[in-house]
Structure 1
Amino acid sequence: MIRVSGKCVGKGIAIGRLYLYEKENAVLNKRLVEDEKSELDRFEEARKEAARELSELYEKARKEIGGEEALIFEIHSMMLQDESFLDSIRDAIFQGHVNAEYAVHQAGESFAEAFASMEDEYMKARSADVLDIASRLVRILTGFGGGSLDSAEPVILLAEDLSPSETVQMDKNKLLAIVTRKGSANSHTAILARSMNIPALVQTEVELKPEYHGKRAVVDAGEGTLLIEPAEELLEAAVKKKMEADRYRSGLEELKGKENITSDGRSVDIFANIGSASDARLALREDAGGIGLFRSEFLYLGRGEPPSEEEQYEIYKEVFSCMAGKKVVIRTLDIGADKQVDYLGLKTEENPAMGFRAIRLCLSDPELLRTQLRAIYRAAVYGNAAVMFPMIISEVEIRQVKKLAGEVRESLLREGRAVGEVEIGIMIETPAAALISDILAGEVDFFSIGTNDLTQYTLAIDRQNEALEPFYDPHHEAVLRLIRMTVENAHRAGIWAGICGELAADTSLTEAFLDMEVDELSVSVSSVLEVRRAVRAIGQKGEAG
């Protein structure tokens, strides 16, 4: 038996046979060229083809996994337009007189090395993304490269590393688990593996020996171990542990159709966060009570121009119709900070998290918001609609967006179009908004507390900075006090208050949120039943049922 340790990615246990994943190496030769213009033209054609492939991957990931995870391929598309990366390739062709594929390979290696040498763990993980982009371009230019999963049965994939593209393109039904020698827990491949609910280990010391192919193995993503040809007693223990995990999941499935109610009669709505129409169908499958956060910004990503009113209308209509009368809360465009689009021409900022983003952008470009609101009011005819505005910090901003919403509604009625009723709310994401929530509550129908941003702004900690992770405490008393204050002020004004940030799914806080009388918890689709279980277990000695 061979035991190998690695970094855990996701949860779960997999038992099956190993599949040694080997990539076909691209034929890469350095050639001196005389016609540099022709080589540059070859590169530009490859770049166009890569952009087309990434657009298809974005759509595939958005439909199968979710809008937020699909962002990975939007980031890859942005890398294809990075001037520093492009200049490095062009300079190699024109000044080094080398062929396009070699120029791309060299630029990819150089930029990947630069990212890998950074101290920030998140930025280190971007090294793999640069290599993925470069490999894609080289493959297109040479016609070689890549690998495939060719197995009749589900397997535990064993590889040196996997790119995000390779991970998404694999048949999920054939993957029991993923084990790689390289990679990181912050890599986009790891993020995709978690989203696909595939147990995975990265940074293992396993040797990629051909004789391992087909061997029986156990991956325990909780313990961080890979066992190759485990002893019988260890295999039996793994089978037992997996059965227990499967029973737990079955227990969650039995909660479908049951109420989110504690033993002493307190209840809370449990909604889902989504990023696409396909996510709404998954939310229904997991028995979510509604949609508490539709991240509409994903409609604006991975494209060259903003979505039209008609395009947005059709998508919102599909979601409203799918949810069949259950409440759907659409967050208006929240672009900026870690989500960028080139066509809006946003300037580079030293501190984008506190910069020109969300409602600040929309109030500076009212037509952008007007188009979105027209689509929402028209689609609202088909469902139970609500809209909320992100990053609101003042009464003035609320009155501005309400005025614009009123103008949109009246304009549609004058045109003879049908419009639906739409609740208007705001996100409480800053200490400023929480501290004046008593004033803001008089202007809106509801609050939704975005705990991700509220935590980072309250603690003055950039949540994208991995080096600050030891100091990041989402359970900090200051954050909890601001949540409690916001909920109390909402109820005094007769409006409801929910939580849509990551804390909503933190079951160690579920009872505290019920004590605060939070009306709604909006969580990732995969967490809906976990939170229901936590609610039903409150006040009980045994497990919820």
Structure 2
Amino acid sequence: MLTLRQDDVLLGCRAEHWRDALDQAAESLHAAGLVAPEYRDGLHAREAQSSTFLGNAIAIPHGTPESREHVRATGVRVLQFPEGIEWHDGQRVHVLVTIAAQSDEHLDILRQLTHVLDQDGIAERLAGAERAAEIAELLSKAVVEARLDAETLCLGFPARDHGELALAGAARLRQAECVDAAFVAAVAETAPRALGRGLWLVTSDRGVGVPALALATPAEPLQADGAPVQGVFCLAAQGQAHRGLLERILALLDSDAPETLHRLDADALLARLAGESAAARQRLVTVLNAHGLHARPAKQLIQVARAQGIAVRVRLAEGGSEAVSAASLTKVINLGARRGQQLIFTAEGDGAEAALDAVCRAVEDGLGEHVEPFDAYREPVATEPEDAPALEPLADDVAHPAVAASPGLAIAPAFVLTTPSFDYPARAADPAAERRRLDDAIREGGEQLEALIQHARGGEVSQILSMHEEMLGDPELHQAAREGIDEGASAEAAWWEAIDTAAQAQERLADKLLAERAADLRDVGRRVLGILCRVEMPEPPDHPYILVTDDIGPSDVARLDTSRVRGLLTARGGATAHSAILARALGIPAVVGAGERILTLASGTELILDGERGRVTPAPAAERRQAAEQRLAERRRREAEAWEARFEPARTRDGHRVEVASNLGNTAHAADAVERGAEGVGLLRTEFVFMAHAEMPGLETQIGEYREALDALDGRPLVARTLDVGGDKPLPYWPVPQESNPFLGLRGIRLALTKPEVLETQLKALLMAAAPSAEPKRDARPLRIMLPMVKDVAEFRAARAILDRLFEEIPAGERSDDVQLGVMIEVPSSALLASTLAAEVDFFSVGTNDLTQYTLAIDRDHPELSAQADGLHPSVLRLIEMTVAAAHAEGKWVGVCGELASDATAVPVLVGLGVDELSVSARQVPLVKARLREFDLEEARAQATLALAQATGEAVRDALEAR
């Protein structure tokens, strides 16, 4: 962006004629090395087209697009003419701001200058200035953009009082990077003030980077001090820059909107805050000018607006910019509208429609400039250059690495399913017919989902499909689509616009789980779109196959015929996506994130898909295929034998004891884990208790949940991880500011210690749930509590102090005495400091998923890199080795609860490193027990030594396979 400096200003210039002044301006640019001499002709050509006089004695000469070839560097020169010049349009000019711009940088200067155009006396001050610094300061005042847009709105928040709404608004402003933690703290200390009509306000200027306004509305009716709470404004104040935001609050108070806030979507609410009444007529038009609304087309626009005889207002469609008078040059220029952006014009009263027709037609015609059409209804599609190399096909008989998403081995021909395209008209002439089409398609989509739910296998499948059914029945989606149809859109265009808008609103939330729900919403939307467009998925073959596709939605997975689908292979996706979760629930081996090259496979190509190692081998040679068939037959035999022996203690061939426990995401599944042979629960993710409630669960609620698991375990140990939310997975009632890297932010024990009362309640609930019970008699309830994301001993001590105090406060008969407190080794620093931690903790549990991610600096869900995030990487193994050595030196035990614990190749390595417990999914318990019986401790130690000697994760796997 161009900026004005003191050295850019030339004082005391004189000229008899405006052409002479223009020549001096061109020479100043040339002397500064910014332009070639020929640029002078471009300045004169621009003035011949239209005057560059801006206002308040300022002109802004700049070249034509054709003269940009003479610009050597972007820059600006300001010439002061104290005596003034008669410009060719009859205006008096004292300052020329002469611009050499290689693209559109002059528009930024133009926006900066608009703040001086309405100031009284500015012309005299510019003419009389005796210092260059004074002129630079007058002209280069930074434009502070006050923020109010869809990202600062927090609609339908599940708050219990207006204070929580205020904090939700503050959190939204921090997520938008307008404020910092000091602002949030200030809001927490300030009670909202009643403005009347159900609106409340809280404001602070502490920690404000950008002045901004948030509005949080409640999900359910609220009252405070006997008055209704329709919404709470959270204002980040800064100097005078927020005054316009206050005016917009007043405009809302004067409108009919306050009592109907709960019925307004973000667009309607922004319209009210922009000063538009419900009675205003509205029209949308796209800016076609190559350089946006710069001075010349803006002049044309205001002339058309002034000729209408009624007030016409305009604002940018994107965000929540304030509606301004379309008859004000400075206001229109200050919108900064660029090509492709949409403007919303409004007008009220008699003649409104004709006025809107006139201004919109003028914009469409280019406002005096030649313009190219802009297709507003089609999203730009990224296409590869014509000379871009084609994707290289996968080599035959070579194992290609990807992400292991669901365990198992499959051998079958590929069925390559390409993503369907939906072609439909953007507009339709008969709204009534379009509404009928949409209603029929929604009804048919609901019937399809209901049929899938009836035939679904697995509780998770039914739950997710039921959620899809609820999404499809959302009346707000239906209403948004119908409104689009009423405005002339086709049923397809209106429906997808409603879906995409709702999905984007969810994606703006700093919540990974909600982002996944946005993907589900689009999956629902595509179902209806397919019905409207009569697009049917290709019929799969009637013989066993491996499905190969770019990506797949949850409902597509649920639709799979598991009697024929042997495996799932996708180009995109991660191991935590809903499609991967459902593949595991259905027992379908899956490999994901394999890259676009898999789409070059031809249907019918035979594949070997290894869902445990995350590999796919196309067109295997006879020898490799025979080996895979033997592995598959062996696996089936082992599964049957493992199931029969599932209740036997887990031991190596020579009798070395290694406990095999189950990971649980819900206490209701504890009984199933025991039935599958689990010797305890090695990881209970307690956040499910918190995520299942609309507000913070109390002590009794938590006791009941934890006791269900302890009862089912019948004396087997329970390892419960304390609340692990924040950053990438915040709770709706515990707003956490958006972070640029949530995996390195406020989460786990860090977040819990910011509200120690929450941690205290959870610890108390666990202690009391594990207390001996008289009916039925249950004496032994071993409880192991572990803290997530601990980086050093200080965080552990803070939690230990709370636990020790609870032991003193709770009577002995009402709590468990068999309690251990440990930490998860997920952060490299905790492994490196394991010796200091081991002196104080009772145990370690290694979370290999996060430890691998943080050690290798690879997001395990990254579409291209996730295949390289291998827990068998020697660097990860060395950290595990350090952890085990430190723990055993203090007589403490170590478990592993990440995915590596169920990796058949990794199991002997972990045992050889000295790991005492492996915690895996309940489905994997029998197989891991069986794997332990296949080797002895000496062999395990040899494999661990071999793995530690390798240089890469791939080399580790190759060496272990060769052995």
TM-score (norm 1): 0.69
For 1:271, what is the secondary structure of its paired residue? strand
1: CA distance, partners of 2:647 / 2:874: 35
Correspondent of 1:476 among 852, 859, 873: 873
| Structure 2: distance between partners of 1:243 and 1:64 | 29
CA 1:159–1:266: 2 relative to 1, 3 Å: closer
1:129 corresponds to which residue? 520
Q: What's 2:494 paired with?
A: 103
Residue of 479, 489, 493 corresponding to 2:886: 489
Which amino acid in the other structure matches residue 767 of structure 2? Y
2:811 pairs with one of 379, 389, 413: 413
**2:674 corresponds to which of 278, 281, 284:** 284
Given the superposition, is the C-alpha separation of residues 535 and 91 from structure 1 closer, same or farther in structure 2, using an over 3 Å criterion? same
- Residue of structure 2 aligned with 1:192, choices 559, 563, 582: 582
- After superposition, the CA RMSD in angstroms is 5.5
Q: Please say if 1:458 is aligned against 2:855.
A: yes
* AA partner of residue 177 (structure 1): V
Per-residue deviation, 1:466: 2.7
Question: C-alpha offsets along residues 481-523 of structure 1, whole Å, 9 cap, x if unaligned?
Answer: 2211111111222221111112222332333322332211112
Give the 3-state SS of the residue equivalent to 2:733 in structure 1: helix
String of CA shifts for 1:187-226, please: whole Å, max 9, x gaps.
6324411332025699889999xxxxxxxxx997559799
Once the 2 structures are TM-superposed, how far is the Cα of residue 155 of structure 1 from its aligned partner?
9.3
Shift in Å, 1:342: 2.5
Q: Which residue of 2 aligns with 1:392?
A: 790
Decide whether the 8 Å contact of 1:164 with 1:189 is kept in 2: yes
Which piece of structure 1 moves more, 131-140 or 477-486?
A: 131-140
2-structure distance, mates of 1:417, 1:125: 41
Amino acid at match of 1:508: T
Distance, in Å, in 1 between the alignment partners of 2:471 and 2:687 is 16
Aligned residue for 1:457, secondary structure, equals helix
Question: Quick check: 1:433 aligned with 2:864?
Answer: no
Name whichever structure is richer in helix by fraction: 1
Aligned to 2:931: 534
What is the DSSP-based 3-state SS (H/G/I as helix, E as strand, rest coil) of the residue aligned with 2:858? Answer: coil
Of all paired residues, the percent bearing the same amino acid is 33
Q: Confirm whether residue 377 of structure 1 aligns to residue 775 of structure 2.
A: no
1:259 and 2:649 correspond: yes
CA offsets 1:302-332 (integer angstroms, 9 cap, x no match): 5432333322222211111111111110001
457-466 vs 322-331, greater mean Cα deviation: 457-466
Distance 1:264 1:364 in 2: 48
Change beyond 3 A, Cα 1:193–1:354:
same
Aligned to 2:754: 364
Amino acid at match of 2:662: A
Preserved CA contact (<8 Å) 1:328 1:386:
yes
C-alpha distance in structure 2 between counterparts of 1:310 and 1:76, whole Å = 32
CA deviation string 1:443-481 (max 9, x = no partner): 221111112212222222222223323643422332222
Q: Tell me: CA distance 1:238–1:426, structure 2 relative to 1, closer, same or farther (3 Å).
A: closer
What residue number does 2:69 align with? none
Which residue of 2 is the match for residue 467 of structure 1?
864
Residue type of the partner of 2:565?
A
Which deviations, in whole Å up to 9, do the C-alpha atoms of 1:231-255 show, x marking residues without a partner?
A: xxxxx99999875543232122233
**For 1:177, which of 565, 569, 582 is the aligned residue?**
565
Cα 1:139/1:343, change in 2 over 3 Å = farther
Could you tell me how far apart the structure 1 residues matched to 2:650 and 2:925 are?
10
CA distance in 2, matches of 1:443, 1:243: 48
- Relative to structure 1, is the Cα distance of residues 480 and 71 closer, same or farther in structure 2, using a 3 angstrom cutoff? farther
Name the CA distance, whole Å, in 2 between partners of 1:495 and 1:181.
42
Per the alignment, do residues 167 and 475 of structure 1 end up closer, same or farther by CA in structure 2, a change over 3 Å counting?
A: closer
In the other structure, the counterpart of 2:821 is 424
Aligned-partner Cα distance in 1 for 2:685–2:922? 13
Cα distance per residue 1:344-399 (max 9 Å; x no partner): 11111111111000111110012222222222111112622111110112222112
CA distance in 2 between partners of 1:128 and 1:426 (Å): 34
C-alpha distance in structure 2 between counterparts of 1:397 and 1:71, whole Å: 37
C-alpha displacement of 1:408: 3.5
Contact 1:178 1:199 in 2 (8 A): yes
Q: Secondary structure at the match of 1:498?
A: strand
Residues 703 and 768 in structure 2, CA contact (< 8 A), matched pair in contact too? yes
Alignment correspondent of 2:840: 443
Contact persistence 2:660–2:918 (CA under 8 A): yes
Q: Secondary structure, in 3 states, of the residue corresponding to 1:260?
A: coil
Q: Which has the greater radius of gyration?
A: 2
Name the residue aligned to 1:121: none
Following the alignment from structure 1 to structure 2, what is the Cα–Cα distance between the partners of residues 207 and 476?
33
2:715 counterpart of 1:317: no
Unaligned 5+ residue runs, structure 2?
A: 1-396, 505-514, 538-542, 593-597, 620-625, 774-780, 940-963
Structure 2 counterpart of 1:254, one-letter code: E
